[in-house]
Structure 1
Amino acid sequence: MLDKPVINKSLPINTKDRPTQLLSLPEVHSTIEVPEGAGFWKKMMAFTGPGLMVAVGYIDPGNWATDIEGGSRFGYTLLSVILISNLFAMLLQHLALKLGIATGRDLAQACRDYYSRPVSLVLWVLSEIAIAATDLAEVIGSAIALNLLFGLPLPAGVVFTAFDVLIVLYFQQKGFRIIESIVAGLMGTILLCFLYEMIVAQPSIAAMASGLLPRKEIVSNPGMLYIAIGILGATVMPHNLYLHSSIVQTRAFKRDETGKRSAIKFATIDSTVSLAIAFFINGSILVLAATAFHKNGHFEIADITDAYHLLDPVLGVSLASIFFALALLASGQSSTLTGTLAGQIVMEGFLNIRLKPWLRRLITRGIAILPALIVSYLFGEKGTADLLVLSQVVLSLQLSFAVVPLVFFTSKRSLMGSFANSRAITFFSWLVSLIIIGLNGYLLFNTLFR
């Protein structure tokens, strides 16, 4: 079994309400044994899973619109922005998993330990807003996919997404490894769909390689800069930082310094490889748009539905649009699973309140369904596309309130001990944080006032 978390006595606040056991994932928490004395690959398999669950948040439907618009308008140029965004994500997710493994506390619990009650409540509210915005993107993405695949009207598709709560609750009772396997299967479906799209589209290898190199025009061209910031803003998800810091604790390993150091190494490999897969998928969406649309003179494709309808005639392959919509549906459903867990982690970590999973899920999904249903009924496809963009703006606004505490805690030697960030990691972490905060602030300002 997992040891009780080690609480650092130097943390000054809220010692009276600290829990005596891991609160995160109470309904699905099944310890996954890490074999001692095993070889590299056996240990790697034991630690594989949390990275994939985090990675699906980087390919949720909210990313699709920015990637499609970037590819259709500017070709392969913004591929470098997707690469840089993923490198930022790899660093931040490493910090999140390190916090969880080194301290036995997830990010929400660490915030409750360190900050005053009013500050913790504010951070909790902001986290809930971010999770609701994420769920909104999943609802809209799934509804659009159901409309494209089966002709289901958008309002009906939005209502239909309410039933995925039953699926989530069913598999939560089967154990955490089952949920990881489902997410891995959905991730594999998305990956295979875009491998097919890349084979059919036959993009230019030289152009893709060139697009991976940052260009000065990304900053000098206002239109390109705006989309580049949108891609960055849609990439790093605040709820993923809370999620990752908790689910890495589902592995049972020796909790001495050597054991923790080994766990951080394997968890980092899991996270980095998974995010590399997410980079391939996000990059594929942009490359597909660049090859199918930009190359053929369709420069204004920013809508998922328009992209779906244009794929077959442009590429001349009847299955291209079907695989595109199937990947979108898998993206929405995989993000639903991880969003549910993140919601439980955030509420229990900040408030030390445990709700029944079905009640927690119904509340979150209800908040997301209501605006999506109203907008889809009154304004149709255009309205839902705009609402999808708005959900990403809301996420951008919330991001700094998760990133700053994460970097602060992992740089604090009194909390992390020998696992505290080195000076170099601290410098780059704060630099990345400032860049993300600045660019997301710029995106928000321009979205509201331009």
Structure 2
Amino acid sequence: MPPLTEPAPAVPAPTRSDGHRSITVPDGASFWRRLFAFAGPGYLIAVGYMDPGNWATDLAGGSAYGYTLLSVVLLSNLMAMVLQALSARLGIAGGLDLAQACRDRYPRPVALMLWLLCEIAIIACDLAEVLGTAIALKLLFGMPLVWGVCVTGLDVFLILALQRYGFRKLEAFVVALLLVIAGSFVFELALAKPDWSAAAAGLVPSGRILRDPAMLYIAIGIMGATVMPHNLYLHSSIVQTRAWREDDAGRAQAIRMATIDSTIALGLAFFINAAILMLAAATFHVAGHTGVAEIDEAYRLLTPLLGGAAASIVFAVALLASGQNSTVTGTLAGQIVMEGFLHLRIPVWLRRMVTRGLAIVPAIAVVAGTGDAGATKLLILSQVVLSLQLPFAVFPLIQFVGDRDLMGRFAIGPGLRVLAWSIAAAIFLLNAVLVYGLL
């Protein structure tokens, strides 16, 4: 990554989030009241870690390899917890979101390249949301997949309606849908009765993952679906919706509370991702259905294998909730990235329609050309694309939070710096192995 330019002025640039410092943090209140005031951004971030792209990769991994790839889900979530904590630290102590920091502290050609790569990642994520929502509409209402893809263009009106009621209401809507998803998988696991000892063994990494190209492809897809590049931009901005005390003690408290918030929320994301993979392992893999990689195929098999029609319906409802939740956070991330990198503010509906249009066109082309079978393959490919974009968000983030000119006393120390760069190196290495295998 090119060296930083001259340090930006000490006065932090305002975040582009409409809810900037709009939520009061009670000074001197109890720990739990302060934590409640900070709770919210972590759950918006967690949405990206359980979107429809995760469903495709987790279902493919669980049906093909049983519980083996649970270790990848666990490691991906642990990496995500570290990276999201660093993202929150940048927003709180540096006063900039990641897009603004890249614009202010890199040469313009480098910043523009990073912006284009981030936009590609957002389109890939939106592609997963489009396909996931369309598949859910097909499963629940029998809507043809092509029509379902077209209907997802109306999601922009949901975003506009939610944003009218303020940022806190938006967070409440997202948390409510997360609870629907979590409750759905508690129900599914109760029916599936997974092998808990085999699941525990699956949490231990296996060298087979690196030796088997097909397994590695799915593993990197899981990582790409779990650690989302645009979430690093999003978190560094929306954490600034909290009005913490503007001194070192207030910033230290804000960093601690934001880290707790995101860690708890990502713990919930780990449960849901693990539950999807375990459901596939316990239901499909043990029954010999090792090729189940399509969401609609999983839907059809759940009822006969688990012995209840409710299993399939609950699965589809959770998928629909997942797609709608991801739509909300994808829109916010798109706004923040464009405004941060380009200093350009455009209407939410226009930004949303452009992004969704760029996702809908390839989705319609694939579904029309290959039929429903191509949808899940495109879902998995979108997650691999996200994984390939990840280093271009992670490297700048680690560089910024270690920069004392920007972060002051809140710059990360040697221990955390080694951990963060080790995570970045692991991501880069896995992506290099993937590209080599594809070539």
Instruction: State the TM-score, normalized to the length of structure 2.
Output: 0.96
Is 1:344 aligned with 2:341? no
Residue matched to 1:12: 6
Letter in 2 for 1:24: R
* CA offset digits 1:41-62 (Å, max 9, x no partner): 1001000000000001011111
Q: 1:202 aligns with which of 189, 193, 201?
A: 193
Q: 2:294 aligns with which of 303, 322, 346?
A: 303
Q: 1:283 aligns with which of 274, 283, 289?
A: 274
* CA offset digits 1:400-446 (Å, max 9, x no partner): 11000001001112211111111011011011001112212322443
Contact 1:11-1:415 within 8 A present in 2 as well: no
Alignment of 1:11-410 (within 5 A): 12=6, 22-26=14-18, 28-29=19-20, 31-410=22-401
Q: 2:408 aligns with which of 417, 424, 427?
A: 417
Contact 1:51-1:270 within 8 A present in 2 as well: yes
| Deviation at residue 217 of structure 1 after TM alignment | 2.6
Q: CA separation of 1:159/1:283 partners in 2, compared to 1, >3 Å: closer, same or farther?
A: same
| Deviation at residue 391 of structure 1 after TM alignment | 1.3
SS at match of 1:58: coil
* CA offset digits 1:98-128 (Å, max 9, x no partner): 0000011000001111001111111111111
Contact 1:14-1:116 within 8 A present in 2 as well: no
**C-alpha distance in 1 between matches for 2:12 and 2:404:** 23
SS at match of 2:232: helix
| Deviation at residue 23 of structure 1 after TM alignment | 3.9
| Deviation at residue 20 of structure 1 after TM alignment | 7.5
**C-alpha distance in 1 between matches for 2:36 and 2:435:** 41
SS at match of 1:296: coil
| Deviation at residue 325 of structure 1 after TM alignment | 1.0
**C-alpha distance in 2 between matches for 1:226 and 1:127:** 22
**C-alpha distance in 1 between matches for 2:74 and 2:394:** 19
SS at match of 2:48: helix
* CA offset digits 1:23-48 (Å, max 9, x no partner): 4113x446100001100110010000
Contact 1:393-1:444 within 8 A present in 2 as well: no
| Deviation at residue 131 of structure 1 after TM alignment | 0.7
**C-alpha distance in 1 between matches for 2:176 and 2:345:** 29
| Deviation at residue 167 of structure 1 after TM alignment | 0.9
| Deviation at residue 397 of structure 1 after TM alignment | 2.0
**C-alpha distance in 2 between matches for 1:277 and 1:303:** 24
Contact 1:140-1:158 within 8 A present in 2 as well: yes
| Deviation at residue 11 of structure 1 after TM alignment | 6.2
Q: CA separation of 1:382/1:41 partners in 2, compared to 1, >3 Å: closer, same or farther?
A: same
**What runs of 5+ residues in structure 1 fail to find an aligned partner?**
1-9
Letter in 1 for 2:410: F
Q: CA separation of 1:219/1:390 partners in 2, compared to 1, >3 Å: closer, same or farther?
A: closer
**C-alpha distance in 2 between matches for 1:223 and 1:175:** 45
Q: Percent identity?
A: 56
Q: CA separation of 1:378/1:215 partners in 2, compared to 1, >3 Å: closer, same or farther?
A: closer
Letter in 1 for 2:266: L
* CA offset digits 1:156-205 (Å, max 9, x no partner): 10111111101101111211111111111111111010010011111122
SS at match of 1:390: helix
**C-alpha distance in 2 between matches for 1:445 and 1:139:** 29
Contact 1:112-1:349 within 8 A present in 2 as well: yes
**C-alpha distance in 2 between matches for 1:437 and 1:417:** 28
Letter in 2 for 1:162: G
Runs (4+) of structure 1 exceeding 4 A deviation are 18-21
Letter in 2 for 1:85: S
**C-alpha distance in 2 between matches for 1:77 and 1:397:** 23
* CA offset digits 1:1-23 (Å, max 9, x no partner): xxxxxxxxx961677xx997524
RMSD in angstroms over aligned alpha carbons? 1.7
Contact 1:29-1:175 within 8 A present in 2 as well: no
Residue matched to 1:5: none
**What runs of 5+ residues in structure 2 fail to find an aligned partner?**
none
Q: CA separation of 1:256/1:29 partners in 2, compared to 1, >3 Å: closer, same or farther?
A: closer
Contact 2:156-2:353 within 8 A present in 1 as well: yes
Contact 1:105-1:245 within 8 A present in 2 as well: yes
**C-alpha distance in 1 between matches for 2:404 and 2:14:** 22
Contact 1:230-1:443 within 8 A present in 2 as well: no
**C-alpha distance in 2 between matches for 1:374 and 1:228:** 27
SS at match of 2:433: helix
* CA offset digits 1:254-300 (Å, max 9, x no partner): 01110000001010000000000000000000000000011111111
Instruction: State the TM-score, normalized to the length of structure 1.
Output: 0.94
Aligned residues: 436
Contact 2:88-2:258 within 8 A present in 1 as well: yes
Contact 1:165-1:361 within 8 A present in 2 as well: yes
SS at match of 1:59: coil
Letter in 2 for 1:360: R
**C-alpha distance in 2 between matches for 1:445 and 1:66:** 20
